[in-house]
Amino acid sequence: STKGYVEIDTHAIKLSKYTPQVVLTRVLSDKDNVYNGINHKSIAKKEVLELAGDDIEFHFAALDYSNPKYNRFSFRLLGLDGQWSDATFEHHATYSNLAPGEYTFQVKGTNSDNIWSDNIAQIKVVIAMPYWYYIVACLLLITLLLIIQFILIRRRQVTLLNQQLHHDTLTNLPNRLDFQNKMAKLASTQEHNFALIILDLDRLKDVNDLYGHKMGDEYIKSAALRMQESLRDFDYLARLSGDEFIILLNRYKLEDDLLEMVNRITVNLARPYQFDDITVSGSASLGIAMFPKDGATEEELFIHADSAMYEAKKAGRNQAYFFNASLKKKLVETIKIKANLKHALSNQEFKLYYQAKLNAITGKIDGYEALIRWFHPVEGLIPPNDFITEAENNGAIVEIGKWVMEEACAQAAILHAEGLLKGNVSVNVSPKQLLTTNIVSIVTDALINSGLPPEKLELEITESSLMDESDRTQTLLSKLKKTGVSIALDDFGTGYSSLSYLTKYPISTLKIDRSIIVSASQHNTSLLVLRNIYSLAHSLGIQVVSEGVETQEQANLVLQYQDDLVQGYLYSRPIPFEDARQLSLKDAAELQI
Ligand code: C2E
Ligand code: CA
Ligand code: CA
């Protein structure tokens, strides 16, 4: 050098022993200065810094002016991590997204010769909950409360719906669905014996018709209450439909036990029902099937109890019938009929027979009643009483009835063309057919296709067709009447025998049921009834046909009515068409002699 030769003994250079103090120079929260350590001034003016930012930066420096760039630092954030960081020349540390809480930032450093100082600089910081935390927490809480409320409401709704789904609204008793579940359980566990009772309230329709549906509802409710009172806690009662109830009598010990229960129910239900000033004399018909004796499955039991109930109803109401072997046989027949009925029409198994309607005095044939016959290839002749009801139930009556109308018109047209039909041919029309099909067009079509004059056709309807007394029935009958056919009221004396129908509807013939004729021949009072019916009908211009005359004695009862007709085995049974034609031919020949 210009100063001469300078020799430096590098081995003699001593390490610096000076350990500079480390100080925190600044703390930034999201780039905002929150602490300034150089002038020892916390902007927050607090010993503990409360911070809310996402990024926290700690800046620090060593108070070493000899060679600051060789100072190294190590730091840690207590509360997050206890470990000191590796030594670094950086003089700041950054932390992001610190969870709310208390922390202590510590930093220590070396001098430029890498000697660590004992001094540790530190600052406590508190990371506060951010404001949105409280909002979110509140929102969460509100949401939670809403969810809870929603769940509670839903649960209440579901319970209510479930209750409604399984209960009848009028009586609050379990309904059909509930019963089905119950039965499925009972029959599958097969634990103990029980009796299934199908109970049908008698006369509900009468009560409805006479006093209105409100009274009908009261009758149902009172009856349901009486049933409940007759049962034990572990028995089961449900309402299946309008007047139909079901009872499951559990764990009866002996049949006597069961009998007593059934008796109690029947007697209880047959007591008069008092509603204000109206007394209703109600009762019920019961059909009973026992598990497992009368059926192993729910379906079998139900069908068997139902058929027993049906028998009880037929036997005159207010009765309880147990399912038995003869009912079983009958049921088998019904099932057979059900299965075969489907194909009977297409297989041409039906035929019409004709029973003459005669003038009782002259004995001359006036007309015929067409009566259906079913000739089954295997079962043989099945009488109408055995299948008409089934056909009505399954709807087959629609097609069958149409066929009867066409066939009867076609055959009547033959008789008419030959001059053998003085009066008319009458065709039975079931209530179902009358009310659910377009009977007017069926009749007019049959008349047009056969060429039969309308006055040669009579429709026989029963009282049950007229019972709803609606305008609809009135219009329907008027329309039929307008086609030119006549209308007969059949089976008079078996149902309500309401003479008011005769005045209300366009009826031209009254057919008196066999039962009236039979009892008139035995009792004077019944004879009086018969005479009154005749005289009332005559006063309304209605012709009378006495049905089911079997004996001369019965025939004598009506001999005085010269303009009326008789029908019965005494004169002629229902016979095939060709035989009827021959009979008419013979009748006409006799007339000519
Ligand atoms: P209904 O209309 O009262 O027919 C009279 C029934 O009495 C016929 O029974 C007939 O054979 C029977 N009968 C006639 N004279 C006497 C007699 O002197 N003594 C007795 N004991 N019975 C007599 P059938 O043919 O068995 O018909 C029974 C019922 O079936 C009919 O009663 C009618 O309601 C119904 N029916 C018959 N054919 C048809 C049809 O084509 N359509 C519809 N919907 N029902 C029909
Ligand atoms: Ca008839
Ligand atoms: Ca009849």
pLDDT tens digit sequence for 563-588: 999 999 999 999 999 999 999 999 98
Q: Whose CA is nearest to atom 16 of ligand 1?
A: 548
Query: What CA–CA distances, in Å, run from 31 to 38, 92, 106, 137, 349?
Result: 17, 13, 20, 27, 102
Query: What CA–CA distances, in Å, run from 218 to 205, 264, 275?
Result: 13, 21, 8
Q: What is the pLDDT of residue 443?
A: 97
Ligand 1 and 565: CB distance under 6 A: no
| CA–CA dist 30, 189 (Å, integer) | 73
Ligand 1 and 548: CB distance under 6 A: yes
For ligand 2, the distance from its centroid to the CA atom of residue 508, given in whole angstroms, is 14
Kindly identify the ligand whose nearest atom is closest to the C-alpha of 575: 1
Q: What is the pLDDT of residue 41?
A: 55
For ligand 3, the distance from its centroid to the CA atom of residue 293, given in whole angstroms, is 40
| CA–CA dist 260, 267 (Å, integer) | 10
Ligand 1 and 491: CB distance under 6 A: yes
Ligand 1 and 493: CB distance under 6 A: no
Pocket test for ligand 1, best of 371, 439, 557 (most atoms within 8 A of CB): 371
**270 residue type, one letter:** A
Question: What is the DSSP annotation of 72-134?
Answer: -EEEEEETT--SPPPPBS--EEEEESPPSEEEEEEEEEE-TT-PEEEEEEEEEEEEPPPHHHH
Ligand 1 and 388: CB distance under 6 A: yes
Instruction: Take residue 442 and report the two structure tokens written for it.
Output: 């069926």
Question: What is the DSSP annotation of 385-415?
Answer: HHHHHHHHHHSTHHHHHHHHHHHHHHHHHHH
| CA–CA dist 589, 185 (Å, integer) | 73
Question: What is the DSSP annotation of 211-260?
Answer: H-HHHHHHHHHHHHHHHHHHS-TT-EEEEEETTEEEEEEE---SHHHHHH
Ligand 1 and 569: CB distance under 6 A: yes
For ligand 3, the distance from its centroid to the CA atom of residue 391, given in whole angstroms, is 18
Ligand 1 atom at minimal distance to the Cα of residue 353: 25
Q: What is the pLDDT of residue 44?
A: 46
Ligand 1 atom at minimal distance to the Cα of residue 513: 3
Q: What is the pLDDT of residue 591?
A: 63
Instruction: Take residue 355 and report the two structure tokens written for it.
Output: 């029973």
Q: What is the pLDDT of residue 146?
A: 96
For ligand 3, the distance from its centroid to the CA atom of residue 511, given in whole angstroms, is 6
Q: Whose CA is nearest to atom 45 of ligand 1?
A: 428
Reference 389, options 314, 474, 440, 494; nearest CA is: 314
Kindly identify the ligand whose nearest atom is closest to the C-alpha of 371: 1
Q: Tell me how far apart the 2 most distant CA atoms of the chain are, in Å.
A: 184
| CA–CA dist 270, 284 (Å, integer) | 7
Q: What is the pLDDT of residue 426?
A: 98
Sign of CA dihedral 452, 454, 459, 465: positive
Cα-based angle 463, 466, 467 (whole degrees, multiple of 5): 90
Q: What is the radius of gyration, based on Cα positions, of the chain?
A: 51
Q: What is the pLDDT of residue 393?
A: 87
Q: What is the mean pLDDT of each run of 10 residues along the chain (593 residues)?
A: 83 82 89 78 60 86 83 94 93 91 92 87 86 89 95 92 88 92 77 88 90 93 95 92 92 76 92 90 93 86 92 88 84 83 93 96 96 92 92 92 98 97 97 88 97 98 82 91 96 82 92 95 93 94 97 94 95 97 92 60
Task: Summarize pLDDT for 374-402 with one digit per residue, the tens.
Answer: 999 888 999 999 999 989 988 899 999 99
For ligand 1, the distance from its centroid to the CA atom of residue 318, given in whole angstroms, is 28
State the burial class of residue 157 (Cβ atoms within 10 Å of its Cβ: 0-12, 13-18, 19+): exposed
Work out the end-to-end distance of the chain between its first and last CA atoms, rounded to an integer number of angstroms.
Answer: 180
